[in-house]
Structure 1
Amino acid sequence: MIVTAVTNEVYPDASADSLPRIFARAADAGIRHFELRIVESRRFPAYDADSWVRLKRLANDYGVRFTAASPGLFKAGLDSEFLPLHLDHLLPMSLKLAASVDVNTMIVFAPNRSASKQAGEFNRVVDLLGAAVDKAAAEGFTMQLENLPGSWADTSDACLALLQAVNRPEFGYVWDTGNLFEAEQTHFRTGYEKLKPYIRNVHLKDGAFVHGQMVWKRYGEGVTDVRGQIQALKDDGYAGTLVLEAACKPHHLDDFPTSTRYLKSLF
């Protein structure tokens, strides 16, 4: 497994001085791979010019490699005017910027479900995702679907249905265990067995429901069975990325080192 971090999960600082602290703290934990997402409070690819220069320079200084980019594609309703903009403008811009730092993997979400079910919606989602995968593949990219509560990729079965329907070799899956637990409130094993053939990336977070709300916790303190997830991946010889989403809310300074120490104990 390639243990990978996300900048804003490592250190609770979004200032222009944050990246050296973030990269140094990750290096102290033996982590030199990052997924491109939030940098200095802006989401990829909408970084300002100075942030982009700092990111590339400091990544080179610390020996950081980027594994995937997540611009938040299609995080909107199926009838939203943003979806065509994402497909025709945000995606091409993201592909170009990601390629400039040797990234060839793009993460995508499914649109949000409508309040009332309408005929043909599933096929529209499939067509949208298929078009996005084709655009990415034409530029030498693979694409990964990330599950998210409230979206058309909320549960294990919903994710499986989309992966099967889109049916492209360039289309894989981000197994976000915390998000699945929030949507299904079931142990990871049933969903894992269904989705295992498609998993190319894992987002790891722990949490539990408190007064009906999902609350993110440090690894080992929640009920999503981080220990079992790591063991399952090890048993199956998983060799992809394992992205640490170790921050709680509010984000405390000790969240990342405490969770990484727990994770190391499982390896």
Structure 2
Amino acid sequence: MIITAVTNEVYPDATPDGLPKIFGRAKSAGVSSFEMRIVEGKRFPMFDPEAWERLKANSKEFGISYTAVSPGLLKAPLRSELMQLHSDHLLPMSLDLAEAIGVKTLILFGPTRAVPEMPGEFEEVVALISKAVDQAVARGFTVQLENLPGSWADTSDACLALLEAVNKPEFGYVWDTGNLYEAEQQHFKAGYEKLKPYIRNVHLKDGGFVDGKMVWMRYGEGVTDVKGQVETLIADGYEGTLVLEAACQPHELDDFPTSMAYLKSILE
């Protein structure tokens, strides 16, 4: 497995001085692989020009590489002006900037579910995702679907339905059991076997419901069974990325090192 961090979940500092702290802390823990998401408070690719230059310079200085970019693509209502902007502008811009830093993996989401569901909505979602995947693949990218509550990729079965319907070898899955638990409130094993053939990336986070709301916690303190997930992946010979989503609510200074220590205790 490739132990990977997230740009905004290692050190709670979104200022222009934050990147050396983020990368320095990760490197001291033996992590030099990152998933690109939020930098200095803004999500990829909508960075300030100065932040983009700082990112490139600090990445080079600390020897940081990137496994994927996550622009929040298609995280919008299906039939909305915002979705049109995602398709026409956010997608190509994301591909352009990803190429500029040598990244060839794009993460996208299922569109937000309409309530009540609109006639033909699933078919439109499949067509939308398929088009985005085709555009990315034509430029040499692979694409990963991340599950998120309230979206068309919220539960294990919903994710499987989209993966099977799009049915492209370059289209894989981000297994995020924290988000799955929020949507399903089931142990990860309930959906793991059916999704396993598609898993290319794993987002590792822990949490539990507090007053009816999912709250993210340090590894081992929640109900998502982080230990069981990692042991299962090891037993199955998983060789993809294991992305540490270690930031809690609120994001505290010791979140990353504490959860990293817990993960190392499982891996040893």
TM range (shorter): over 0.9
Mapped partners of 2:236, 2:8: distance in 1:
30
Matched, 1:134 2:134: yes
Q: Does 1:194 align with 2:194?
A: yes
Runs of at least 5 residues in structure 1 that lack an aligned partner in the other structure = none
State yes or no: 1:117 paired with 2:117: yes
Aligned to 2:65: 65
Q: What SS does the corresponding residue of 2:118 show, helix, strand or coil?
A: coil
Relative to the length of structure 1, the TM-score reads 0.99
Unaligned stretches of 5+ residues in structure 2: none
Give me the TM-score of the superposition, normalised by structure 2.
Answer: 0.99
Question: Does 1:172 pair with 2:172?
Answer: yes
1:6 and 2:6 are equivalent in the alignment = yes
Deviation at 1:82, TM superposition (A): 1.3
User: SS of 1:118's equivalent?
Assistant: coil
Once residues 134 and 89 of structure 2 are traced to their aligned partners in structure 1, the CA distance between those partners, rounded to angstroms, is 15
Give 1:261 shift.
Answer: 0.2
Task: Supply the distance in 1 between the matched residues of 2:19 and 2:117 (Cα, whole angstroms).
Answer: 44
State the shift of 1:225 in Å: 0.2
1:83 aligns with 2:77: no
In structure 2, the residue matched to 1:265 is: 265
SS of residue matched to 2:8: helix
Give the aligned partner of residue 32 of structure 2.
Answer: 32
Measured in 2, the distance between the counterparts of 1:79 and 1:115 equals 13
Match of 1:227 in 2: 227
1:131-179 Cα shifts (integer Å, max 9, x gaps): 0000000100010000000000000000000000000111000001100
Q: Within 5 A, what are the aligned runs for 1:245-260?
A: 245-260=245-260
Sequence identity percentage: 68
Q: Tell me which amino acid in the other structure corresponds to 2:94.
A: S
**Structure 1 equivalent of residue 152 of structure 2:** 152
Equivalent residue, structure 2, for 1:211: 211
For residues 210 and 15 of structure 1, what CA distance do their matches in structure 2 show? 30
> In structure 2, what residue type is equivalent to 1:24?
G
How many residues matched?
267
Mapped to 2, the partners of 1:117 and 1:8 lie a distance apart of 34
**Counterpart amino acid of residue 251 in structure 2:** H
Tell me the secondary structure at the aligned position of residue 179 of structure 1.
Answer: helix
Distance 1:200 1:48 in 2: 30
Distance in 1 between the 2:248 and 2:227 partners? 18
Instruction: Give the Cα–Cα distance (whole angstroms) in 2 for the partners of residues 93 and 251 of structure 1.
Output: 29
Q: CA deviation at 1:186?
A: 0.3
Give a deviation string over 1:98-154, Cα, whole Å, max 9, x none.
011110000000100011122100000000000000000010001000000000000
- TM-superposed CA distance for 1:88, in Å, is 1.6
Cα distance in 1 for partners of 2:80, 2:244 equals: 31
